[in-house]
Amino acid sequence: MALFAKPRTAAQSGRSEEPRQETLGCPAFASLIETMEARSEKEDPKYSILDLARASGNHIEFFSRFRCRYHIGDVLEAMSSWPVPGEDTPVVDMETLLPLHRSGELDLVLAWDGLNYLHPELLPLFSRHLAERCKPGAWLHAFVYSRGDMPGRPLRFDILSRDSMRYSGGGKDRVAAPCPPQRVLESRMPGFRVLQSRLLRNGLQEYVFQKEEG
């Protein structure tokens, strides 16, 4: 497994982790994993997976069931502070913000709740950057807030099973959630289309996007 970054401890990141934890079902993720498992039984593919979160032994262990290369992006905490195109920043270099030149062609991107913290003007640039490195038919999994507010920073997710996750953290501060409707979100993600969308009980909308063919 190839990693972009080493895991950071709470002390290294300058903050303590909140003890509160919640569990949620993730039916779209379960369906995705079932598809990957069925393909592995028939074709024995080698998957290339990009995890945008910090290195997590939990995530790596879960995906060790597949023959794969597991890449760590470690960008979720930084996405809300990425520069937005404007007079002072006419060009945003996504390869500098999220280097993918060594990742090869990706089969799966795990975005967790990171899309909520990305400025709307950056989402198309971010989507194109990922799409350029994804194989046709590759998947992108994400959680998007559908109403109200959200934690001030991304949550930490731990996979309990293919249809259940635990999440924690996010800080005490609350900020307004962008809550884009599905058609708006899809229009801001060139190169991808919505394959599955499930509204979860905690107000998160679970998405599986797929890289468009051709």
pLDDT for position 89: 78
pLDDT tens digit string along 150-203? 999 999 999 999 999 999 998 889 999 999 999 999 999 999 999 999 999 888
Helices (H), the chain: 10-13, 27-43, 57-63, 94-97, 123-133, 182-187
Question: Is 197 within the bounds of a domain?
Answer: yes
Please report, as a single letter, which amino acid is at residue 201: R
How far apart are the C-alpha atoms of 92 and 82, rounded to whole Å?
A: 9
pLDDT band at 11 (very low <50, low <70, confident <90, very high): very low
Domain interval for residue 133? 20-83+90-211
Question: Is 71 within the bounds of a domain?
Answer: yes
Please give the tally of structural domains in the chain.
Answer: 1
Question: Is 175 within the bounds of a domain?
Answer: yes
Question: Is 14 within the bounds of a domain?
Answer: no
Question: Is 11 within the bounds of a domain?
Answer: no
Identify the sign of the CA torsion 183, 184, 187, 188: negative
pLDDT for position 44: 87
How far apart are the C-alpha atoms of 26 and 48, rounded to whole Å?
A: 22
Question: Is 100 within the bounds of a domain?
Answer: yes
Identify the sign of the CA torsion 166, 44, 36, 142: positive
How far apart are the C-alpha atoms of 113 and 128, rounded to whole Å?
A: 18
Q: Give me the CATH number covering residue 171.
A: 3.40.50
Question: Is 10 within the bounds of a domain?
Answer: no
User: In 3-state terms, what secondary structure has residue 169?
Assistant: strand
